[in-house]
């Protein structure tokens, strides 16, 4: 059975000054899977990702979620449904429990423990200060913070590019567990090997336009494009 459509982009263009970041992009992104947005630097991956929770707005065209144009939804409510975790982990508080409560002040200790377990971190992290965390721990804590508000979709922008191999593997395993549990993940990456490991579908961009879209199992034929 084919996955359900989640996002639809129709003739979406994004211009910044004279630069065209996305050029009349039309594509569909599926629910309940991990989709990798791939392509070289400057291809438009991050721009497309940011469109999906309105951190970027199209110059022309339309983005829909479950068939509904994004501007029809309250932007703050949308960003709780469609969370974004950036390339560099940005922690907002001094202690791990406070970090998890940034968007959920009512989060209980039990719920906080569950969130840490979801991203592969031990419950003992609840006693830690954020300043002492490794890059991999900080990135997974950012994932847990995003999950605390119960998103439908998680957007990840090059989530492992600044991490060592062990930390990157831990984040990838976390992504696969989340997708297996029913979360939709859309990630921007230039790493073909990573897409093979964790993505179900791949959308390849070049110069702001889609050039290939298909199952990650077919990624060999996409190799030259990414």
Average pLDDT score, the chain: 92
pLDDT in the model for residue 22: 97
How is the chain split into domains, by residue range? 32-47+75-225
> What is the secondary structure of 106-137 as a DSSP string?
T--HHHHHHHHHHTT--GGGGG-BGGG--HHH
Q: Do residues 221 and 213 touch, judged by C-beta distance below 8 A? A: no
Report pLDDT digits (tens) over 164-206.
888 888 889 999 999 999 999 999 998 888 888 999 999 999 9
- The span from the CA of 63 to the CA of 76, in Å, is 17
Tokens of 200: 């179900």
Q: Do residues 104 and 97 touch, judged by C-beta distance below 8 A? A: no
Residue 125, pLDDT above cutoff 50: yes
pLDDT band at 225 (very low <50, low <70, confident <90, very high): very low
CATH code of 32-47+75-225, in short, is 3.40.50.300
Residue 226, pLDDT above cutoff 60: no
The residues near 222 (Cβ < 8 Å, ≥ 6 apart) are 38, 192, 202, 204, 212, 214
Q: In sequence order, which ranges of 85-210 are alpha helices (DSSP H)? A: 96-100, 109-118, 135-147, 165-180, 192-198
């Amino acid at each position: 059975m084919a996955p359900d459509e989640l996002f639809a982009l129709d003739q979406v263009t994004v211009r910044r000054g004279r630069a065209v970041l996305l050029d009349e992009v039309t594509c569909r992104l599926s629910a309940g899977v991990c989709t990798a947005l791939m392509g070289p630097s400057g291809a438009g991956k991050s721009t497309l990702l940011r469109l999906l929770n309105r951190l970027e707005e199209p110059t022309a065209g339309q983005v829909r979620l479950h068939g509904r144009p994004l501007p029809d939804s309250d932007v703050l409510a949308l960003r709780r449904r469609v969370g974004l975790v950036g390339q560099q982990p940005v922690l907002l508080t001094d202690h791990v429990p406070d970090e998890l409560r940034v968007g959920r002040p009512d989060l209980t200790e039990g719920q906080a423990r569950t969130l840490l377990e979801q991203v592969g971190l031990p419950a003992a992290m609840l006693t830690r200060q954020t300043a002492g965390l490794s890059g991999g721990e900080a990135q997974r804590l950012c994932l847990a913070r995003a999950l605390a508000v119960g998103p439908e979709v998680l957007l990840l922008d090059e989530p492992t590019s600044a991490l060592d191999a062990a930390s990157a593997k831990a984040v990838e395993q976390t992504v696969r567990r989340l997708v297996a549990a029913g979360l939709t993940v859309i990630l921007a990456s230039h790493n073909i090997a990573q897409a093979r490991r964790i993505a179900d579908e791949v959308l390849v961009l070049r110069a702001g336009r889609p050039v290939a879209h298909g199952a990650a199992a077919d990624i060999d034929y996409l190799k030259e494009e990414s």
